[in-house]
């Protein structure tokens, strides 16, 4: 067998730079200095912004440049500024990550009962014509022993190549990690791309995927809402046919949406129209959002918010913060949500939330 020494040297160099980037992030963490490490969907480049001070910068009008990190309720939109950071990047070689499968852990019957009751309350509100769809979520906490967030990020990168993977730290916010399949908005000049992503089922390995009516209907709600909103600020809106995509062991229905923004529309206006989308909130937006804030009985904080590049290299590339966890002390807080429609069944939604928790539990070496 002929060995390509150029490829070998290139891989060795990339691995060396990767180690340097991860080590620099660990140094930032040790010095309580903010940083973001991330990898875009279907991309083998790691990018890092290492902030040079511990100031908590906020976004005011979305003309700023850097990495943005925003909450679900819209009250907090922070940024690691490009001009206050060292920017580092490298490509990496994908590799297999061994995950030991463990027995399914015991989950509290109280937690199960509470979530099923919440879902039933959502279904009742839909039947009362308060809204057509609502996305209801739960929070699950896991104890950690010798957890390393940088190593967890590296695991996520290799486990979920088709997702946007990140590790975010700020001493005044905390540590968040995620592997999200959903793009909120990609914009360059006046051209934009977004998606409608909804419907969930576990990948059974079958070549042909059959989607139940409930899942198709849920995804159509999301598509119709986004397209209708964008027509107010854009022209030539193009909508693809729905198709199945895989994110880890989970399947979703996806529709691509693109077009040209009107010349008088700014990035801020478009983001405010889209966020939060029906895929993480509901439809109509304001009524479903109010129901969530009044009934979930926990603070989503940055879960189902958005994050990503803001005006970096003349483009913005933003993602919805799904399949994520917050690291707080010696605990990991995981978040799972389910789209509720009139056809939802509380037991099925509970099972869906269990399936979604597997994304983060795999890097915690917990059961899944």
- List the domains of the chain with CATH numbers: 109-361 (3.60.120.10)
Q: What is the pLDDT of residue 1?
A: 43
Q: What is the CA radius of gyration of the chain?
A: 20
Res. 62 pLDDT band, cuts 50 70 90: very high
Q: Which residue has the higher pLDDT, 296 or 215?
A: 296
Q: Which helix (H) or strand (E) holds 333?
A: strand 331-340
Q: What is the pLDDT of residue 311?
A: 96
| pLDDT above 50 (res 8) | no
Q: What is the pLDDT of residue 5?
A: 42
> Is the preceding peptide bond at 284 cis, omega within 30 degrees of 0?
yes
Query: 184 and 306 in contact (C-beta within 8 Å)?
Result: yes
Q: What is the pLDDT of residue 4?
A: 53
| pLDDT above 50 (res 116) | yes
* Mean pLDDT calculated for residue range 304-331: 96
Mean pLDDT rounded to a whole number for the chain: 90
Strand 133-143, strand 66-70: pairing? unpaired
Q: What is the pLDDT of residue 368?
A: 37
* Residue 283, burial from CB neighbour count under 10 angstroms (0-12, 13-18, 19+): buried
The values of phi and psi at residue 188, to 5°, are -140, 125
Of 100-114, 169-183, 243-257, 262-276, highest mean pLDDT: 169-183
**How many CA atoms lie within 13 Å of 54's alpha carbon, on the beta-carbon side?**
11
Q: What is the pLDDT of residue 235?
A: 85
Query: 214 and 344 in contact (C-beta within 8 Å)?
Result: yes
| pLDDT above 70 (res 183) | yes
Query: 183 and 168 in contact (C-beta within 8 Å)?
Result: no
Query: 56 and 173 in contact (C-beta within 8 Å)?
Result: yes
pLDDT in tens, 342-355: 999 999 999 999 98
Res. 358 pLDDT band, cuts 50 70 90: confident
pLDDT in tens, 216-262: 988 898 899 899 989 889 988 999 999 999 887 889 999 999 999 98
Cα-based distances in Å from 55 to 33, 307, 312, 363:
9, 18, 20, 30
Q: What is the pLDDT of residue 13?
A: 66
Q: What is the pLDDT of residue 360?
A: 82
């Amino acid at each position: 067998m002929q060995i390509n020494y150029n490829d070998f040297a290139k891989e060795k160099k990339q691995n060396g730079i990767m180690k340097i980037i991860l080590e620099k992030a660990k140094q930032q963490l040790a010095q309580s200095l903010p940083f973001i490490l991330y990898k875009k969907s279907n991309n083998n480049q790691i990018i890092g912004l290492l902030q040079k001070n511990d100031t908590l910068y906020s976004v005011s009008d979305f003309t700023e440049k850097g990495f943005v990190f925003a909450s679900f309720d819209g009250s907090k939109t922070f940024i690691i500024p490009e001009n206050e950071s060292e920017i580092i990047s490298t490509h990496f070689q994908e590799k297999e990550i061994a995950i030991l499968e463990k027995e399914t852990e015991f989950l509290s019957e109280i937690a199960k009962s509470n979530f099923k009751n919440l879902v039933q309350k959502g279904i009742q509100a839909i039947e009362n014509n308060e809204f057509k769809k609502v996305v209801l979520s739960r929070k699950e906490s896991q104890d950690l022993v010798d957890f390393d967030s940088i190593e967890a990020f590296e695991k996520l990168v290799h486990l979920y190549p088709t997702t946007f993977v990140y590790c975010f730290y700020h001493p005044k916010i905390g540590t968040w990690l995620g592997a999200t399949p959903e793009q909120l908005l990609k914009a360059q000049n006046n051209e934009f791309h977004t998606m409608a992503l909804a419907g969930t089922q576990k990948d059974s390995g079958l070549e042909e995927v059959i989607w139940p009516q409930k899942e198709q209907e849920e995804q159509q709600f999301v598509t119709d809402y986004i397209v209708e909103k964008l027509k107010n600020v854009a022209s030539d809106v193009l909508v693809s046919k729905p198709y199945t995509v895989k994110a880890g062991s989970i399947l979703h229905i996806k529709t691509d949406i693109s077009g040209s923004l009107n010349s008088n529309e700014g990035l801020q206006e478009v983001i405010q129209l889209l966020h939060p989308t029906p895929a993480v909130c509901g439809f109509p937006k304001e009524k479903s959002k109010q129901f969530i804030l009044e009934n979930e009985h926990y603070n989503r904080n940055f879960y189902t918010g958005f994050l990503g590049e803001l005006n970096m290299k003349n483009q913005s590339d933003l993602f919805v913060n799904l399949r994520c966890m917050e690291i707080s002390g010696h605990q990991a807080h995981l978040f799972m949500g389910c789209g509720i429609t009139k056809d939802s069944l509380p037991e099925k939604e509970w099972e869906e939330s269990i399936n979604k928790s597997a994304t983060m539990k795999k890097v915690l070496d917990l059961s899944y």
